Structure 1
Amino acid sequence: MVMFLKSMGPLWLLFILGLWLVSPSLTQENSREKHFLIQHYDSNPNGRNDVYCEKIMRLRGLTKPCKAKNTFIHGGYPSIKAVCGDEAGKPYEEGRFRISKSQFQVTNCVLHGGSTRPPCRYRATSDFRYIVIACEHDLPVHLDHTVTAN
């Protein structure tokens, strides 16, 4: 094996260098997608009321301090990810974002009361809406907003 690596010479070094340069960008990309999922994705909610909002906001770490507003998208993740492509999404606002071609079930959690210190009390509203997201490398990384009509 050592002989093989020696015979590869500079090509082997370039390969290793390439892996070293690519890995951080993939890690950062995946962390942005994971952050999006933590903040905005709940595939199968157990209720969509005030208690749901208070529980999921606490479980997702969005209550230190209390986040003023947050939207959760429900359904299958492949459908959300597909908005980054042309089959399920289209450019929005000069291509900075993508808007879904179909509506998603969403729950909006809005802080009730003036304090941003726990305990956080939320009011829930549920609806079907189009989602407007930012994508990087065909992965959703930011929920900008939702709209009732496109």
Structure 2
Amino acid sequence: MHFKGSGPILFALLMVVFIVETYAADYNTFLRQHYDNPKSNVGNRYCNTMMQRRGMARPQCKAVNSFIHGSKKQIIAVCGKGGKPYGNGLRRSNKQFSVTTCKLSGGSPRPPCNYRENRSNRFIVIACRGGKPVHFDEGQI
């Protein structure tokens, strides 16, 4: 069966679905890599445990990663009135968040991974798409 004129409509619909799924995937990746609220109680090896649990210690050790200990609502707000433009499509939070940064110690990026922990209160810099965070700028630590 052939539907005349439905090609462009079907294409547009598929593009909308693709874009929505891409934003959702990027936001979910952001949450997996950078969201931990309240801070997980995993003992005195927080970074080693969290990096392993969140899939950033295989096949290679991620060099630096930060976990934000604020609510999803507070973090999403940075994409709107809770943040301000910070150049190159980034946004800087208006308020400070509790953040734990894990830095790889040792020379090899291959497992087993060993991380140093640094917890501080600071402004976060993120990239947003579709009103949700999709990237944490580690360069702004």
Do both share a fold (TM > 0.5)? yes
Counterparts of residues 71-150 of structure 1 (less than 5 Å): 71-85=66-80, 87-93=81-87, 96-145=89-138
Q: Distance in 2 between matches of 1:31 and 1:142?
A: 12
Could you tell me how far apart the structure 2 residues matched to 1:21 and 1:51 are? Answer: 44
Query: 1:123 is aligned with what amino acid?
Result: R
- Of 63, 68, 80, the residue aligned with 1:68 is 63
After TM superposition, the score normalised by the length of structure 1 is 0.82
Stretches of 4+ aligned residues off by more than 6 angstroms: none
Q: CA deviation at 1:21?
A: 2.4
RMSD: 2.2
Give the CA deviation at 1:147. Answer: 5.1
Per the TM alignment, residue 47 of structure 1 is displaced from its structure 2 partner at its CA by 4.5
CA distance in 1, matches of 2:68, 2:43: 14
Matched positions, count: 138
Tell me whether 1:25 sits opposite 2:31 in the alignment: no
2:28 to 13, 34, 39: 34
8 Å CA contact 2:65–2:138 kept in 1: the answer is no
Residues 48 and 70 of structure 1: CA distance in aligned 2, closer, same or farther (over 3 Å)? farther
Higher helix residue share: 1
> CA deviation digits over 1:11-36, x for unaligned, max 9?
x7765543222101111111111111
Q: Which residue of 2 aligns with 1:3?
A: none
Provide the rounded CA distance (Å) in 1 between the counterparts of 2:139 and 2:129. 19
**1:120/1:30 CA distance change after superposition, 3 Å:** same
TM-score (norm 2): 0.86
Q: Identity across aligned pairs (percent)?
A: 41
Paired with 1:115 and 1:40, the residues of 2 have a C-alpha distance of 23
Q: Which has the larger radius of gyration?
A: 1
Q: Which residue of 1 aligns with 2:38?
A: 44
Comparing 12-21 and 31-40, the one that deviates more = 12-21
